[in-house]
A = this chain, B = another copy of it.
């Protein structure tokens, strides 16, 4: 991959916002680029972090395998997002695993180099604080949802959130931009694939969504937002 293209990928990330061009050059110097296939594990829960990863392209799923063998998905990351950043900054074992959900381009620095760069360019640390804060907020919001809302509401919220992140305009509506099974949705929402299937089918009959194998198109965003917020 050519260097200019890498620069384009990197500047998507909030991590390097407000960085002067020479600083950005310096950051680019130390950066490695690699492409990984869908379903590749980037790291496992419990591993020690060795590199700071910025997702250049593709989708990464961050998840935990929980007692009882039930997996729970914490994040679906898109281009520009940091992968496993908290563990790198805190120098602790990863609290979750990360899997390339689609084919991905990863930009990375060694953990040591990343920390040096943060020393040298304080703006990076400021950006990191902002980014981690945003993630904490999102987690807090989802925790509140999970604690108080029903499955149908949570499915609506999940689809709206995913569509907002990586949705692409479809013929009539917004389509999640990558293949997503009922099981995948269930792991995000905290339920099982049967429940997801029933809810989606029901919505499809009412014209709120269009469904297919590994595919969901949001046809009526407003009604879905009503369901997400008022439960009806």
Residue in B90, B148, B231 whose beta carbon sits within 8 Å of that of A130 in the complex? B90
B residues near A128, Cβ cutoff 8 Å: 129
Query: In whole angstroms, what is the CA distance A206 to B116 when docked?
Result: 55
Residues 115-156 of A, flagged 1 when their CB comes within 8 A of B and 0 if not, give 000000010011011101111110111111111110000000
Assess whether B147 is in contact with A190, with CB atoms less than 8 Å apart: yes
CA distance A129 to B148 in the complex (A): 29
- Among B134, B140, B229, B231, which residue has its beta carbon within 8 angstroms of that of A74? B140
Q: How many monomers of this chain does the complex have?
A: 2
Given known contacts A95-B140, A129-B128, A139-B143, A70 and B148 CB-to-CB distance under 8 angstroms: yes
Q: Are A144 and B72 in contact (CB under 8 A)?
A: yes
Cα–Cα, bound, A50→B145 (Å): 27
Q: Is A6 an interface residue (CB 8 A)?
A: no
Render A92-103 as a binary contact track against B, CB cut-off 8 A, 1 for contact: 000110000000
Contact residues, A46-95 vs B (CB, 8 A) = 64, 66-68, 70, 72, 74, 86, 89-90, 95
**Given A125-B129, A129-B129, also A64-B144 (CB < 8 A):** yes
Q: Are A130 and B89 in touch, CB under 8 angstroms?
A: yes
Shortest distance from the beta carbon of A43 to any chain B beta carbon, whole Å: 15
Question: Chain A's interface: helix, strand, loop or mixed, by majority?
Answer: helix
Q: Is there contact, CB below 8 Å, between B95 and A134? A: no
List the 8 closest pairs (A to B, CB-CB), nearest first: A147-B190, A139-B139, A136-B136, A86-B133, A146-B146, A72-B147, A72-B144, A70-B148
Query: Footprint of B on A, CB under 8 Å?
Result: 64, 66-68, 70, 72, 74, 86, 89-90, 95-96, 122, 125-126, 128-130, 132-137, 139-149, 189-190, 229-231
30 contacts between A and B (CB under 8 A): A64-B140, A66-B144, A66-B149, A67-B231, A68-B148, A72-B144, A72-B147, A74-B140, A86-B137, A89-B129, A89-B133, A90-B130, A90-B133, A90-B134, A95-B141, A96-B140, A122-B122, A125-B125, A125-B126, A128-B129, A132-B132, A132-B136, A135-B136, A139-B139, A139-B140, A139-B143, A143-B146, A146-B147, A147-B189, A148-B190
